[in-house]
A and B are shown apart, each in its own frame.
Chain A
Amino acid sequence: MAFWTLYKRELNSYFQSAVAYVVLFVSALAQGLVFAWLTGRVIDANYKDQSVMQLFFNFPLFWILLFVQIPLITMRVFSEEFKLGTIEMLLTAPVTEWDVVLSKFFGAVSFFLVLWLPIVLDLIALQIFSNPEPPVYWSQLGMTALTITLVGGFYVSIGIFSSVLTKNQIIAGALCFVFIFGAFCLALQKWVAHLDSATLDRISYISLLEHLQNAVLGIFDTRPIVFYVSMTAFMLLVTKTILEGRRLQS
């Protein structure tokens, strides 16, 4: 009940802020342009082995946008409450810390998914205007959507964690960027360092890039799902603990 009330307020507050609209505009524009360009390439080069969607998510745009979107949408969630002092008002209402953390988390994830709606519209448009109509690969679509949600959720939980650390939004945003970029880069050493095959295998457990590449192919793998869900839950637990700690020690 309290969660639902807070969640509505969180989601609403995104649509009240100018930053959110800028992020939404830039995301939609970038997605549209890249999508249109890749579609052109597929037609010109007569690609047979990859769909436009596969090309799109193997293209680095997804990650570039992600590194910008996540800090921008999560940096204010707690920092602003601390700065305005509204956290005191919030936590003297009959709500628990979990209500607050989860509502902020799901609010941010929901807005993150809104940011990726344009690509869905692009795909629908492609489907409608193509002749002959291309086949729809539901498993690929489903796995990609699921992976984007899971990666987004994990990153959002890192962003919320960064925001609970400080009352300065800019610092929260910068920290978030460092953390999520670091989590992404952990797997990149595959290409830069000389590692034995066992280590390489282990790295693929945490390689966000590989998870997405597999998902786009429609491969269902429980390991990344478990990885994201458990990491997200862990980050949320840490966030909730810090929130409690800040209150008790203030």
Chain B
Amino acid sequence: MIEVENFSKSYAGFRAVQGISFHVDKGEIVGFLGPNGAGKSTTMKVLAGYLPPTDGKVSVAGFDVVNDSIEVRKRIGYMPENVPLYTDMRVNEFLRFRAELKKVTRRKIKDRVESVKQLCSLKDVENKIIGTLSKGYRQRVGLADAMVHEPDLLILDEPTIGLDPNQIRAVRDLIKDLGKHHTILLSTHILSEVELTCGRVLVINRGRIEASDTPANLTKLVRGGGSIALEVKAAGAEVVAKLKTVPKVDDVEVDLTAEGEWTHAKIFAEPGVDVREAVYRVVRQNDWPLRELTRVKATLEEAFVELTQD
């Protein structure tokens, strides 16, 4: 659905995106992650046919974004960051206008507008002027606009920013649902959202792709995919020394300055190895009183930090 080869984008000498390549297949939900200013929005604007690439080849559904811009635009639903809308129009009026503009046939306009209003829970504000709506509603109007012409591909730039937790959940469910029939590329800073909705994650930093994998695989990149938390009544130094002798344990972290007789240790093992049993034996051999032994899964947040921090 999306093919990006060696794509670069410069603004007035500044290289926002530096020769990235990736592709998105039909039916995928791909999360686009990266710190602010990493080049996410720029890439999305290029995919939407708004900006031309400085270098490289970008095509959507087989059409080049520069030469066949109109064909590309017909097939995508793009929701820009901050959702710009005509604030003097009513919700109904706006959606009808956008549907007409996006060449929805006259007979289908009414149906399509009704159905996106239903999907985005806009029924109760359909006659309100957009300028009077709250951020959350505007966000949903933008989403409704992106979907109104049933595009093959949805490009959503931070669709949940500024929403309350309930609305975020609603939008998340909506995206999951849409993913059954559409290809979706979305950018966000809410990592839990990506874990729950996206089949694949692209991490971009300083204009380069740092990783492209499933959320689960990305978390495995973080120090073997997680750690083991252990809390015992023993001296910190002793705990470290004894645990390091356990086979396949890479590292043990203990806060030696902590007060009290309880020591909290973080144990990192080799990727894919569960050392909990071995740790338990060490604890029993030394007769340390034990009050916690848990596996802590690495989060996408940690993977994100690891991939994007210098």
Proximity string of chain B (37-51) to chain A, C-beta cutoff 8 Å, 1 when within and 0 when not: 000000001001111
Q: Are B85 and A94 in contact (CB under 8 A)?
A: no
Question: Inside 8 A of A92's CB, which chain B residues have their CB?
Answer: 48-50, 73, 76, 78, 80
B70 at the interface (CB under 8 A from A): yes
Contact among A88, A94, A249 for B80, CB-based, below 8 A: A88
Within 8 A of B (CB), among A202-234: none
A99 to B76, CA, bound (A): 19
Please report the total number of B residues contacting A with Cβ < 8 Å.
29
A96 at the interface (CB under 8 A from B): yes
Question: Inside 8 A of A87's CB, which chain B residues have their CB?
Answer: 84
Residue among A17, A85, A89, A250 having the largest count of chain B Cβ atoms under 10 Å: A89
A88 to B86, CA, bound (A): 12
Q: Are A88 and B50 in contact (CB under 8 A)?
A: yes
B97 at the interface (CB under 8 A from A): yes
Question: Inside 8 A of A48's CB, which chain B residues have their CB?
Answer: none
Contact among B48, B76, B84 for A84, CB-based, below 8 A: B84
Q: Which of A5-13, A26-34, A109-117, A133-141 contacts its partner? A: A5-13
A88 to B157, CA, bound (A): 13
Question: Inside 8 A of B89's CB, which chain A residues have their CB?
Answer: 9, 16
A124 at the interface (CB under 8 A from B): no
A249 to B145, CA, bound (A): 26
Q: Are B80 and A85 in contact (CB under 8 A)?
A: yes
Question: Inside 8 A of B11's CB, which chain A residues have their CB?
Answer: 250
Contact among A13, A17, A94, A247 for B73, CB-based, below 8 A: A94
Closest to B75 in A: A94
Question: Inside 8 A of B71's CB, which chain A residues have their CB?
Answer: 94
A248 at the interface (CB under 8 A from B): yes
Question: Inside 8 A of B74's CB, which chain A residues have their CB?
Answer: 94
Contact among B49, B52, B82, B101 for A6, CB-based, below 8 A: B101
B103 at the interface (CB under 8 A from A): yes
Question: Inside 8 A of B85's CB, which chain A residues have their CB?
Answer: 84, 86, 89
A2 at the interface (CB under 8 A from B): yes
Q: Are B100 and A5 in contact (CB under 8 A)?
A: yes
Closest to A17 in B: B88
B98 at the interface (CB under 8 A from A): yes
B87 at the interface (CB under 8 A from A): yes
B264 at the interface (CB under 8 A from A): no
Q: Are A88 and B84 in contact (CB under 8 A)?
A: yes
A95 at the interface (CB under 8 A from B): yes
B102 at the interface (CB under 8 A from A): yes
A93 at the interface (CB under 8 A from B): yes
Question: Inside 8 A of B97's CB, which chain A residues have their CB?
Answer: 5, 9
A2 to B103, CA, bound (A): 8
Output the least CB separation between B216 and chain A (Å).
Answer: 33
Q: Are A13 and B88 in contact (CB under 8 A)?
A: yes
Please name 19 further chain A to chain B contacts, defined as beta carbons within 8 Å, in addition to the given A5-B100, A17-B88, A95-B101, sorted by A numbering: A9-B97, A13-B86, A13-B88, A16-B89, A84-B87, A85-B82, A88-B45, A89-B84, A89-B145, A91-B50, A92-B48, A92-B49, A92-B80, A93-B73, A94-B70, A247-B51, A248-B52, A249-B12, A250-B51
